[in-house]
Amino acid sequence: MEYGNSTENGIGKSNGIGNGHGIGNGYVNGHGICNGHGNGHGIGNGHGNDNGYVNGNGKVNGEKMKKMKPMDSEMLREQGHIMVDFIADYYKNLEDSPQDFPVLSQVQPGYLRDILPDSAPDHPEPLKELLHDVSKKIIPGLTHWQSPSYFAYYASSTSVAGFLGEMLNAGLSVVGFTWLTSPAATELEVIVLDWLAKLLQLPDHFLSTGRGGGVIQGTGCEAVLVVVLAARDRIMKKAGKNSLSQLVVYASDQTHSSFRKACLIGGIHEENIRLLKTDSSTNYGMPPKSLEEAISSDLAKGFIPFFICATVGTTSSAAVDPLVPLGKIAKSYGIWMHVDAAYAGNACICPEFRKHIDGVENADSFNINAHKWLFANQTCSPLWVKDRYSLIDALKTNPEYLEYKVSKRDEVVNYKDWQISLSRRFRSLKLWMVLRLYGAENLRNFIRDHVNLAKHFEDYVAQDAHFEVVTTRYFSLVCFRLAPVDGDEDKCNERNRELLATVNSTGKIFISHTALSGKFILRFAVGAPLTEEKHVTEAWRIIQKHATKFIHNKKF
Ligand SMILES: Cc1ncc(COP(=O)(O)O)c(C=O)c1O
């Protein structure tokens, strides 16, 4: 890709030959000149010159500023190609030149303020210049989540299909808050979430053909918030308007922090949030006995238990709460049970992992993050509810300006009533594209590959006597650490903390950590789309190499 000339004073010239349309500030993509391929495609205001404009012949006449069109189809075509090339190059370079992309950004806080101007420009700047700044100033400040050597937190998986879906979504840019505002956006979401529910073998009551249905929330945090609100409203209809202070919720101490936040937003008193203790005896899954005891004790004190948040694949260690017994307890007390399967739920499209959500039949709601591990680029959090009216009753608003008439009113979904915000992205397009362009079998295999790579890493750890695998692995996360010497847990925590910092400071890989039963644990999570066996092997080599320092140093 080449750019044409753009002079300092805004007298942009086009050069070369071809069909380029004059775009921004007198530069031309590729090899083309602005050869009048339609008047007025040339847009440009002359960098630093109020009066310049490109006139379609690729020349700036310097007399009159042409009105800029924010969405000019030819400019989009031209610049869109440049942008796609830029992004494709980014992915290629991540693979081919990893040394240029420290996985964990190595910049210091405030680095960007020092290298960007204090205020926004008054006049347009060339895309070329902007992309140059992205390369030189922004990319060094990125942690490369899509690097093949990214093993931290949980991945945010991308794919070409997901990217194209995001692109199409950004391009069409419809806002389907009611059926009327874009019938296809609503109807596709209903259909695609039914497809996905079937791939996950969710019970029929989660399908749109029954009383339930699916909705794509922006994030897992939003998903848990809306179901807490729905459950709260349902119970308060029974228990009365003044019952808020008596309402109690349950989850394990491994539950994602979004649950506490959702409860606080929902007005649940902090002291009524019961986070039940877990330990290694249940591989950090919630013990049903503790739940039963907590509920009985709360009932005896006059509290009103109304919500259980179970997790399949906790953020810390991918622990699995036992849905079958938890669901039975929830059902017997009439408590809403939500299943947060943000990460691991995606794996349940594979028959061999589906067992982890056995018991979901007794749940009232269930969510996954398709942007975590279903290659659906950020963000995309499908949520299914057993009874859509519980959600709608809690969140419905009816301003006159959104009213409309439609022949089959009852058959129409208005997703504004299933979520917090009014405006919403056409996310189902992306999910639809991922499902269609790959097909379920490929998606299953992508997931299986990641799980196998995690197993590979786990084997390396298990074979090294200086290390230990800490939890039973179910999916693509390995929890491990340098093993304690002479039972000294404090020293062990210190060594692992140092090891983590050292390894990440190389920029060659990025792993993260957690704490389990007071132990500092290293997490190795596979899920980036470019990761292959060689990256896992290299990651282990780096960890082992840096660990020798701690193994042979008495200080540690
Ligand atoms: C189990 C679990 N639940 C919820 C979330 C929050 O999801 P989001 O970041 O989409 O809000 C996460 C994120 O890591 C998670 O692991």
Task: Encode pLDDT of 523-541 as tens digits.
Answer: 999 999 999 999 999 999 9
In this structure, which amino acid lies at residue 149? S
Residue 490 has pLDDT above 60, yes or no: yes
Written as six digits, the tokens of 347 are 């794996």
Say whether pLDDT at 41 is over 70: no
pLDDT tens track for 257-309: 999 999 999 999 999 999 999 999 999 999 999 999 999 999 999 999 999 99
**CA-closest candidate to residue 153, choices 532, 479, 467:** 479
Helix (H, G, I), strand (E, B) or coil at 212: coil
| 181 pLDDT more than 80 | yes
258 lines ligand 1 (CB under 6 A): yes
Ligand 1 atom nearest 371 alpha carbon:
10
241-262 average pLDDT score: 98
Q: Which of 181-185, 408-412, 435-439 has the lowest mean pLDDT?
A: 408-412
Residue 556 binned pLDDT confidence (cut-offs 50, 70, 90):
low
Strands (E), 421-539: 467-469, 477-482, 510-516, 519-525
159 lines ligand 1 (CB under 6 A): no
Q: Is the CB of 369 under 6 A from ligand 1?
A: yes
**Distance (Å, rounded) from C-alpha 274 to C-alpha 282?**
18
Pocket test for ligand 1, best of 153, 224, 258, 339 (most atoms within 8 A of CB): 258
Strands 467-469 and 477-482: antiparallel
* pTM of structure: 0.89
- Residue 255 Cα to ligand 1 middle (Å): 10
Residue-level pLDDT at 23: 36
Judged by DSSP in three states, 158 sits in coil
At 67 the pLDDT is 87
Give the pLDDT score at 232: 98
Give all strands of the β-sheet with 510-516 in edge-to-edge order. 150-151, 510-516, 519-525, 477-482, 467-469
Cβ–ligand 1 contact at 375 (below 6 Å):
no
Q: Which two tokens stand for residue 127?
A: 């895309």
The span from the CA of 105 to the CA of 393, in Å, is 45
**Whole-number pLDDT of residue 550:** 82
In the structure encoding, which two tokens stand for residue 231, read together?
Answer: 């459950």
% pLDDT > 90, the chain: 85
Best residue among 145, 286, 311, 315 to mutate for probing ligand 1, ranked by most atoms within 8 Å of CB: 315
The pLDDT value given to residue 14: 35
pLDDT at residue 63 tops 80: no
Rounded to an integer, the average pLDDT of 478-503 is: 97
Note the pLDDT of residue 409. 64
Q: What is the pLDDT of residue 554?
A: 58
Secondary structure of the chain: what % helix, strand, coil (to 5)? 45, 15, 40
Ligand 1: residue whose CA is nearest its atom 7: 220
Q: Identify whether the C-beta of residue 151 lies closer than 8 Å to the C-beta of residue 526.
A: yes
Pairing assessment for the beta strands 304-311 and 247-252 based on DSSP bridges: parallel
Tell me which H or E stretch contains 215: strand 213-217
Mean pLDDT of 212-236: 98
Using pLDDT thresholds of 50, 70 and 90, give the confidence band for residue 22.
very low
- 343 pocket-lining for ligand 1 (C-beta < 6 Å): yes
Lookup: tokens for 521: 């644990």
* Residue 434 near residue 374 (C-beta atoms within 8 A): yes
pLDDT per residue as tens digits for the range 314-371: 999 999 999 999 999 999 999 999 999 999 999 999 999 999 999 999 999 999 999 9
Lowest mean pLDDT among 67-71, 72-76, 493-497: 67-71
* Residue 89 pLDDT > 60: yes
Cα-to-centroid distance, 193 and ligand 1 (Å): 19
Average pLDDT across the chain, whole number = 90
pLDDT (0 to 100) of residue 31: 31
- Give the residue, out of 317, 357, 369, 427, with the most ligand 1 atoms within 8 A of its beta carbon, to mutate for a pocket test: 369
| CB 220 less than 6 A from any atom of ligand 1 | yes
Average the pLDDT over 94-107 and give the result: 97
For ligand 1, whether the C-beta of 341 sits within 6 Å is no
- In this predicted structure, the answer to whether residue 33 has a pLDDT above a threshold of 60 is no
pLDDT in tens, 362-400: 999 999 999 999 999 999 999 999 999 999 999 999 999
Is the four-CA dihedral 87, 93, 95, 98 of positive or negative sign? Answer: negative
Helices (H), 247-378: 257-265, 288-300, 323-333, 351-354, 370-373
| Confidence bin at 48 (pLDDT 50/70/90) | very low
**Of ligand 1's atoms, which has the minimum distance to the CA of residue 255?**
1
Residue nearest atom 14 of ligand 1, based on CA coordinates? 315
Polymer length in residues for the chain? 556
Q: Say yes or no to pLDDT of 218 above 70.
A: yes
